[in-house]
Amino acid sequence: MSEWRGIWVFVEQDDGELERASLEILTRAGELGGKFNEEVYGVLLGHELSGIAEEASRYGADKLIIVDHPELRHFNSDAYTEVLSYLINKYRPRYMLLPATRNSRDIAGRLAVRFRTCLSAHVISVDIDEKDRRLVTAVPGFGGNIVATVVCTGGKPEMATVSPGTYEARAGSKRAVLISETVPEELIKKRRIELVGKERTQMIDLSRAERVVVAGLGTGGDLELINEFAKLINASVGVTRPLADMGLVPRDYQVGTTGVSLRAKLAFVFGASGAPHFVYGIRDCGTVVAVNTDREAPIFEHCDYCIVADLFEILRALIKELRGG
Amino acid sequence: MALGNIIVTMKVTPKPEEIRFDPVKKVVDRSKATNEINPADKNALEMALQIKERYGGRVVIVSMGPQFWDQFILMGIAMGADDAVLISDRALGGSDAFVTSKVLAAAIKKIGNYSLIITGEESSDGSTGQVPPGIAEWLGIPVVTYVSQFLEVGEDYIVVKRTIKGGSETVRVKLPAVLSVELGCNNPRFPDFERLNWAKTEFKLTVWGIKDLGLTEDEVGFKGSLTSVTELRELRPRERLRQFIEGSPEEIARELIRRLGLK
């Protein structure tokens, strides 16, 4: 058997929509590949992929393996696992990185057991050990306050899912060589999960918004003024977990450990108490303004400008002032 | 046709906000944190109970952890689960997600006759989310993750709604299958007090060690794990200005707009 070589990045797409986090990881893999003399491969499964393939080929990979099949247009845990297993057995990559999205975490968990290999979850740093060439990652736990350094001690490919937003995606002048792969038809056909329907709206990527207004439980779910204010300052709107739990907005707009980590230059937080899992989501923001009626609320330890007041009164005053008084 | 066993995996986790870190010893101190049933696992149990109410079956809790978790498992019984198994063995300490999924899958096989395995999307402490797909792989059955709702159960399939980026998809999956349910997708019921009394006095919790599952010490715990934690550190929040701005709402608004350069 050949040696396990190379760094693989799973280039996630669903129904023709490319997951940007994959490009971030490709960029990082390109750096690691250069440093450790490992070839970098992107792996893309789907249907009618020319546009996505072109985009993905510019982010640091040496090669891009493409499997194009109508049945792979939509994410399918079963079929994707089978196809990736086939490719891993054929190419034997030493490392495999995937974005820590819902879909990729699903297949990563399956592949790790199938190949009896290590898997680090939603890491916030990925590196290779100089001496042993093992995958070394940083994994946040316990609401994000504690970070563990995790090394792979067994199995190949050494795997990790990388949190979206961890690395910057940078397109270069180098283009990956495209490799079209066909896989045995039965791998795709034997799937046991069938897509019945799909509903999606165009998403704003909160993790990349420059300005964000966050609504907490203190708003009682009334987002009218929040939305109006956000529009005036050209900001996106996020929520804390209780509001997402209420079903007011999809969880993609939830800020914190189980949701999105913000990187905004400016964030307003209205009516959030400041639970650790939420605070984790605003730690990388530039300036944070918080409004809460409780002067003792923990959120005031995690913001730059603290306002003890009724959030609706402040919102009304802000809106009025921005509209010219 | 009635469903077979509906297995719910359950973990007990310390409340994240009450966990302290000892920067000198570099260890996590959970001793002062309150323990609770992992929040998403309560959603898993609730979904299992609702499926049972409509389509039959028998809800069985499976948990892997220390003996004192029995009190939490009894809460699950009081909520309506029919039976429970606790896998408890000193050799299991230090098990990573790979080992955990292997042990749970072995227990599920031993229980047998399963139609569904329902888990929380992830645990609030480790939060890897890897155990549900891992279990599916050990058992050779499909998994649907981030399930928010079940729509229909047929003779050999279930139709569920699953959350995806920006929306949801509806999928039909062949049984038996693993479902991992989204945190907060339903409102878990309260324990029934009469049932709790019964659980405490008459119910017999099954406790298995690794030998009962045909596993050896080398396959579990630190030895069986494929990842290793080499260092722990605290992620310190960045220093913030923490300046209080006071005055009437209008004054505060003007001051904020000025300082932030919003106008």
Query: Are the Cβ atoms of B227 and A317 closer than 8 angstroms?
Result: no
Provide the residue count of chain A: 325
Contacts of B174 in chain A (CB under 8 A): 192-193
Rg (CA), chain A: 22
Sign of CA dihedral A131, A132, A133, A138: negative
Any residues with CB less than 8 A from the CB of A174 and at least 6 apart, and which?
A: A58, A60
Q: Which residue has the higher pLDDT, B177 or A147?
A: B177
B53 sits in which H/E element? helix B39-55
β partners of residue A270: A215, A291
Question: How far is the C-alpha of B246 from the C-alpha of B127, rounded, in Å?
Answer: 40
CB contact under 8 A, A121 and B260: no
Burial B144-182 (b: 16+ CB within 10 A, else e): bbbbbbbeebeeebbbbbbbbbbebbbbbbbbbbbbbbb
State percent of chain B over pLDDT 90: 81
Backbone φ and ψ of A323, nearest 5°: -80, 5
What confidence score (pLDDT) does residue B1 get?
59
In 10 A of CB A12, how many CB atoms?
26
Q: Which two tokens stand for residue A91?
A: 């190419």
The average confidence (pLDDT) of chain B is 93
Alpha helices (H) along chain A: 20-36, 50-56, 77-91, 102-114, 185-189, 224-232, 241-245, 276-279, 311-322
Q: What's B100's DSSP letter?
A: H
Cβ neighbours of A116 in B, within 8 Å: 98, 226
In angstroms, the separation between the Cα of residue A312 and the nearest Cα of chain B is: 10
Q: What gap in Å lies between CA A91 and CA B177, rounded to an integer?
A: 30
Q: What is the mean pLDDT of residues B50-78?
A: 97
Residue type at position A173: S
**Residue B167 pLDDT more than 90?**
no
Average the pLDDT over A264-291 and give the result: 93
Report d(CA A145, CA A167) in Å as an integer. Answer: 20
**Closest approach of chain B CAs to the CA of A147, in angstroms?**
5
Block residue for tokens 């999928």 = B171
pLDDT digits (tens, 9 = 90+) for A108-125: 999 999 999 999 999 999
- For chain B, what is the total number of helices (H) and then of strands (E)? 7, 15
- Chain B contact for A296, CB < 8 A? no
Give the minimum alpha-carbon distance from B103 to chain A in angstroms, rounded to a whole number.
12
| pLDDT exceeds cutoff 80 at B25 | no
Residue B231 to chain A, least CA–CA distance (Å): 5
Chain B residues with beta carbon closer than 8 angstroms to that of A275: 17
A5 DSSP assignment: -
Q: In a mutagenesis test of the A interface, which of B164, B182, B236 is the best target, namely the one with the most A β-carbons within 10 Å?
A: B164
Q: What is the pLDDT of residues B103-161, one digit of tens each?
A: 999 999 999 999 999 999 988 777 788 999 999 999 999 999 999 999 999 989 999 99
Looking at the complex, report in whole angstroms how far the Cα of residue A179 sits from the nearest Cα belonging to chain B.
28
- Residue B109: closest CA among B74, B147, B60, B52: B60
Full-model pTM: 0.90
Quickly list DSSP for B179-199: EEEPTTSS-PPPPPHHHHHHH
pLDDT class for A48, splitting at 50, 70, 90?
very high
Distance CA B233, CA A32 (A): 24
Looking at residue A325, what is its pLDDT? 66
Chain segment A235-254, per-residue pLDDT in tens: 999 999 889 888 788 888 99
What residues in B contact A286, CB-CB < 8 Å? Answer: none
**What confidence tier does A260 reach under pLDDT thresholds 50, 70, 90?**
confident
Neighbours of A92 (CB within 10 A): 15
pLDDT band of residue A164 (cuts 50, 70, 90) is confident
Please state, for a pLDDT cut of 90, what percent of chain A lies above it.
82
**Are the CB atoms for A188 and A71 separated by under 8 Å?**
yes
> What is the band of B166 on the pLDDT scale with cuts at 50, 70, 90?
confident
CA separation, residue B124 to residues A144, A243, B11 (Å): 10, 18, 10
d(C-alpha B166, C-alpha A206), whole Å: 12
| Among candidate residues B252, B26, B21, the one with its CA nearest the CA of residue A292 | B252
Per the CB < 8 A criterion, the answer to whether B121 and B180 are in contact is: yes
CA distance B107 to B8: 12
- State the best of A13, A19, A113 to mutate against chain B, taking most chain B CBs within 10 Å: A113
Residue A268 near residue A213, CB atoms below 8 Å: yes
Model confidence pLDDT, tens digit, residues B216-262: 999 999 999 999 999 988 877 778 999 999 999 999 999 999 999 98
Query: Is the predicted pLDDT of residue A209 greater than 80, yes or no?
Result: yes
pLDDT tens digits for range A79-97: 999 999 999 999 999 999 9
Contact A34, A41 (CB under 8 A): no
- All residues of chain A having their beta carbon less than 8 Å from the beta carbon of residue B28 are 142, 146
pLDDT-derived band at B172, boundaries 50, 70, 90: very high
Averaged pLDDT, B62-78:
97
Q: Which one, of B42, B99, B93, lies nearest residue B65 by Cα?
A: B93
H/E element, B171:
strand B167-174
Residue A1 has pLDDT above 80, yes or no: no
Q: Which two tokens mark B16?
A: 């994240």
Query: Quick one: CA dihedral A61, A122, B136, A3, positive or negative?
Result: positive
Give the per-residue pLDDT at B126.
Answer: 72
Give dist(CA A307, CA B256) in Å, integer.
10
- Rg of chain B over Cα atoms, rounded to whole angstroms, equals 22
Instruction: Give phi and psi for B167, each to the nearest 5.
Output: 170, -140
Number of CB atoms found within 10 A of residue B18's CB: 15
Predicted pLDDT at A250: 81
Amino acid letter for position A35: K
